[in-house]
Structure 1
């Protein structure tokens, strides 16, 4: 589920109008292996920007180049207008928070936060004031004298965050920051991170393989695959308007079907979809032509399921093969007459013993979807 701060620090328009970070044609090779391929990105001041992709897609390599731990093979990186070519990590206005947090087990929470300031030109009083400010920011003041083993995983994550922010970086890089936390704590900490980022105004770049985490945290997301950026956009744009089958399949669950355009009427494209057993309507794309081969994609939550035929534009029948009950909703896997499986999510609006399930195993059902809910893909 996507969530966003009440007042985002930056928007996509801000990022384009006032770029804080510019990545221009950056590539990185390790011998014959190309980890990052000609990446160009613009990131705005105060954004939470996510690099999202599977293992080996190049997202961490790109993060390390921003931090200065790796030099690009080609291309340039600018931070706050300054070319970072040849600038070592310790001279960049950047702090990187690693997945392991790297906090010292023998030091108290307070001393861990203060450690990042030991090379700063500050008096003892200034240093103590900054540490107190950071502990208050991450709500750890009552735990200042505890050792890391005496606090929870989420609190250790906040210690690392406070230490990173204590040096007042212009850019904070977070490499899988919540991967070590359990699901409930991860969800809670996501909102804490968003609140802290909003209060500090520091630009965050988050590397993650977790789609929900990226959708929750980020103002914008770059989806990466095999070293390339496949699409950049807001969570809504990435989810509702993917530009390729890869992005559509990587973000959330989706079912895809080969289709052929048989008629174009205004904004509506009529499609012959053999796997669905007929002609179906979807909102068209600019440039579509008759007889063009496309892919129709459907999100499970965009499909309605019932045991009676609905009065809808797009209707198909099937039989419930599998049913998974999650409490608030249920997932149905419906087998179509041609043998294809279609996943459908339905909210359980009433209690199960009162007929809360829309259908049961082996029931014949009718499925329907609105033309505007279907996604057409040409790539």
Structure 2
């Protein structure tokens, strides 16, 4: 039987302390070659410190990092097959786009012709050939981002680290650039690790996500897996929008469970967790897009009447906060499929809510 190949990047029990403060705590991750992997979390969660350890700018207090089978302990940044793209892009303002891209190649053992060919290949890759002789201040923010990316890729690293790469861009440009990044990564095959606090950015870009909190990894998985099946209340709250209510298990019948949810003023049917028992207390969560908002009472499980307390119109959809019989507030998204406001619920309207048992997220922490 053939042995499975080792992961391209292996992080084993890595911790990092600054005095008495532990920024990263016992992190272990395996990342495959050619992945776009996202480290997602809020400020101070340890994601950038972990990235800096991968780059060699910080040494772990404990643990090991292996890249393509090589132990990175004690290997300085300039000897690692790794390049880091900073949030500020760090372009030289007095140099042209072409010179910025080729700057890192000066110390490589390349002929002038090879350097020119490499720079031209990078210009073509990021579609900036017409702007080769411009200075950074003469191009847009999105183009500066691509210059920084081309410079990082010019040295043909095995691993590219991107620290909040799209934070300086406006919303529309950020959305466009996400797809450009994915396309460039697919064409080069370089492994990307992206640090971001933006959940939408992580879910769009990454093949897999590691959600971090207080120096620890809370959950790792594909974006859809982590979103639909969060392992903890923190992950459920951080990734997307969710309303959570305390609940008590009333009964378990095969794959389904009946729960008392006082804040909803109603019992709820949900897909049971393994080992669930009557009397157990846990948290029930509902994503706003999983709840149907209706004028008339529907048939089926989990039907609750409520009253519109707040609403916000976003154009393509609207967000409602519904007061429930038990006094709780439930957020609900409704897609605006028709023009005009006559068919949309308004403030203080009585409405019916329903959701499938499989849409209820049960959390034990």
TM-score (norm 1): 0.94
Within 2, Cα distance between the matches of 1:158 and 1:278? 53
Cα distance, 1:337 vs. partner? 2.2
Q: Secondary structure at the match of 1:252?
A: coil
Is the counterpart of residue 252 in structure 1 residue 205 in structure 2? no
Q: What are the Cα deviations for residues 95-151 of structure 1, in whole angstroms up to 9, with x where unaligned?
A: 000000000010000000010101010010000000000000000001000010110
Within 2, Cα distance between the matches of 1:339 and 1:263? 24
Is the counterpart of residue 368 in structure 1 residue 350 in structure 2? no
**Paired residue for 1:324?**
312
Structure 1 unmatched ranges of 5 or more: 1-15
Within 1, Cα distance between the matches of 2:331 and 2:195? 29
Task: Identify the match of residue 238 of structure 1 among 226, 245, 248.
Answer: 226
Q: What are the Cα deviations for residues 60-101 of structure 1, in whole angstroms up to 9, with x where unaligned?
A: 000000000000000000000000000000000000000000
Cα distance, 1:339 vs. partner? 2.0
**Paired residue for 1:5?**
none
Q: Secondary structure at the match of 2:8?
A: strand
Task: Identify the match of residue 281 of structure 1 among 269, 272, 282.
Answer: 269
Cα distance, 1:17 vs. partner? 5.3
Residues 15 and 23, structure 2, Cα contact 8 Å, conserved in 1: yes
Q: Secondary structure at the match of 2:157?
A: coil
Is the counterpart of residue 131 in structure 1 residue 115 in structure 2? no
Q: What are the Cα deviations for residues 238-277 of structure 1, in whole angstroms up to 9, with x where unaligned?
A: 1000001000000000000111111111110110111111
**Paired residue for 1:116?**
104
Structure 2 unmatched ranges of 5 or more: none
- The alignment's C-alpha RMSD in Å is 0.9
Cα distance, 1:317 vs. partner? 1.2
Q: Secondary structure at the match of 1:24?
A: strand
**Paired residue for 2:283?**
295
Residues 348 and 356, structure 1, Cα contact 8 Å, conserved in 2: no
Residues 311 and 347, structure 2, Cα contact 8 Å, conserved in 1: yes
**Paired residue for 1:336?**
324
Cα distance, 1:306 vs. partner? 1.1
Q: Secondary structure at the match of 1:85?
A: coil
Q: What are the Cα deviations for residues 147-187 of structure 1, in whole angstroms up to 9, with x where unaligned?
A: 10110000000000000000000000000000000000000
The alignment covers a number of residue pairs equal to 362
